[in-house]
């Protein structure tokens, strides 16, 4: 018992000594130079996806030679919210999309104007233009391989909810077909 209490006192003494040293500034750390650390790096968490506006997404994808993932959703759609919460916040999806895709969102029920291939569309018109006969189902993922050609982009349409594992397999297949 005496050995245990002596070890405990010694351990507490080391902690006290370390705390005093910190207070006196012996182990001072300059945090002003540590601006490159983010809260995600410290917590070992994958940062959330960066969602671009439509205009920025298209120009960024062309400049960086990436693929566009357009997430078509509505505010009332349960499966859209589930997909945003579970699939798009998954670390494997976030990492893969940040590496090879430019992500953007479209809510067809909001009255905004979008420019695509030098023509102006409402959100609903853009959804119908890109999704062909599959427009009107939520959630819908539209994969666009942008082209410098003024009239042609390669478009894939994925309809419905996908888990992170299912979506990753589909996106890897699309990426493999379009290097």
Tens of pLDDT along the chain (179 residues)? 444 444 444 444 444 444 444 344 444 444 444 444 444 444 446 678 889 998 899 889 988 999 999 999 999 999 999 999 999 999 999 999 999 999 999 999 988 899 888 889 999 988 988 887 667 789 999 998 887 775 667 888 889 999 999 999 999 998 888 87
Domain count, the chain: 2
- Whether residues 106 and 152 share a domain: the answer is yes
- Whether residues 7 and 89 share a domain: the answer is no
Whole-model pTM over 0.75: no
Place of tokens 């920025």: 56
Compute and round to an integer the Cα radius of gyration of the chain. 25
Pairing, β 140-145 against β 67-72: antiparallel
- Whether residues 90 and 30 share a domain: the answer is no
Range of the domain at 21: 2-41
| CATH number of the domain that residue 71 is part of | 3.40.30.10
- Whether residues 66 and 10 share a domain: the answer is no
CA angle 74, 107, 56 (to 5 degrees): 145
């Amino acid at each position: 018992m005496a050995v245990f209490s002596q070890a405990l006192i010694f351990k507490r003494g080391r902690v006290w000594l370390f705390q005093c040293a910190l207070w006196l500034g012996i182990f001072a750390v300059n945090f002003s130079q540590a601006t490159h650390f983010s809260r995600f790096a410290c917590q070992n968490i994958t940062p959330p996806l960066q969602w671009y506006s439509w205009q920025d997404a298209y120009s960024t994808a062309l400049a960086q030679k990436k693929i566009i993932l357009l997430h078509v959703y509505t505010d009332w759609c349960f499966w859209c919210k589930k997909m945003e919460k579970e699939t798009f916040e998954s670390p494997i999806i976030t990492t893969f999309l940040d590496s090879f895709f430019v992500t953007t969102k479209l809510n067809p029920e909001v009255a905004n104007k979008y420019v695509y291939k030098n023509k102006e569309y409402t959100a609903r018109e853009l959804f119908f233009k890109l999704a062909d006969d599959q427009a009107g189902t939520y959630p819908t993922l539209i994969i666009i391989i942008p082209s410098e050609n003024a009239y042609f982009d390669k478009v894939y349409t994925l309809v419905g909810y996908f888990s992170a594992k299912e979506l990753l397999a589909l996106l890897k297949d699309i990426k493999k077909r379009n290097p």
